[in-house]
Structure 1
């Protein structure tokens, strides 16, 4: 596994994010780490980071995902 990345996502978009990422079988694991603030953790297996990066860029434009530092300081 690679280093986890954290994103702030509108809570209304969590189900959509999960649906999309699960459709790319084995691409990544998405877990909610702070439901109140809409923070999710995304981890890709080694060798799929570049593919995941393309999906993240598309989702940032589509649903406004914003990469954040976690844990919040």
Structure 2
């Protein structure tokens, strides 16, 4: 019986992150998602030629900044 009460207590325990920490991180995640989504949509709307040029320039940029 004590095992069940311990299990119930662990299920109801709050998350380890403090609510203030979560609220401080939320704008960061929103910003990351917005940037990723806008880049993704931009690449989807490009023609095949523009997409290949974009990929090539991105590879060169990443290679230079390793």
Q: Same fold (TM over 0.5)?
A: no
Structure number with greater CO (CA < 8 Å, separation at least 6) is: 1
What TM-score do the two structures reach when normalised by structure 1? 0.27
Give the structure with higher Rg (CA). 2
